[in-house]
Amino acid sequence: MINMSDIVKKYFIGTENEITVLKGVGLNIQDGEFVAIVGQSGSGKSTLMNIIGALDRPTEGQYLLDGTAIEDMDDGKLSDVRNQKIGFVFQNFYLIPRTSALTNVEMPLLYRGVGKKARHDRAVKMLELVEMGERMHHMPNELSGGQQQRVAIARALVNEPSVILADEPTGALDTKTGNHIMDIFTKINREEKRTVVLITHNNQLAQLTDRVITISDGEIISDIKTGGGAANL
């Protein structure tokens, strides 16, 4: 699934201000795992997330996603990888205003040229999976923060990606709502058999996953199996 070897990321290469953010990271995540990557601000976790999500390339090292080498791809191929293999969930929901939850979820399929009925049926299925079937015709401003995040999760799932990459997905939510979102991710991992990678600085949330990888100063300092278990399941 995700295989990284000796990943180095540098900025301002060849200048006096050259910075090495990732320092030879090695990381393997198997198909179907539910993993948290934790670290404080400046630890390198956001840079690592960008490389995992094919939003950036490493300066050195090899990254294989489903056996495909990422580091040498051009921008067009990286875009294809992001569209086909990775579903993104962010702290800010990025839903389109004045557009229903259903249409928001359909949008990635529209970009891929999927027909109207197939788009509709797939989007409805994903909204029902995240317990938003009864509110699919509501606009984002008619939904709570937790409901908007569930719509965003449905949108991330609709292209059937190999990996769900969630960047601080509960950061804008209260504790109870955040725990419910974690339950949704667990359901996706268990029932949909999706690989879920959670990026967070919240160690308590990280313990709800099956495995916690801690990064500090650009290096992985621990990799621990937790036993997992969602907050409310």
* Residue type, position 134, single letter: E
pLDDT digits (tens, 9 = 90+) for 146-189: 999 999 999 999 999 999 999 999 998 999 999 999 999 999 99
Q: Which of 189, 218, 152 is nearest to 36 (CA)?
A: 189
CA 124 to CA 54: how far, in whole Å?
28
DSSP 67: T
Strand partners, 51: none
pLDDT of residue 232: 45
pLDDT of residue 102: 98
Using DSSP, state whether 27 is helix, strand or coil.
strand
How is the chain split into domains, by residue range?
A: 32-54+75-232
Q: Say if residue 233's pLDDT is above 70.
A: no
DSSP 71: T
Rounded mean pLDDT of 7-32?
Answer: 95
Q: To which residue do tokens 């979820």 refer?
A: 105
CA 129 to CA 204: how far, in whole Å?
25
Q: pTM of the predicted model, to two decimals?
A: 0.91
CA 71 to CA 54: how far, in whole Å?
9
Q: Which tokens go with 152?
A: 């965003």
CATH architecture of 32-54+75-232: 3-Layer(aba) Sandwich (3.40)
pLDDT of residue 227: 72
Q: Which tokens go with 95?
A: 């839903």
DSSP 23: E
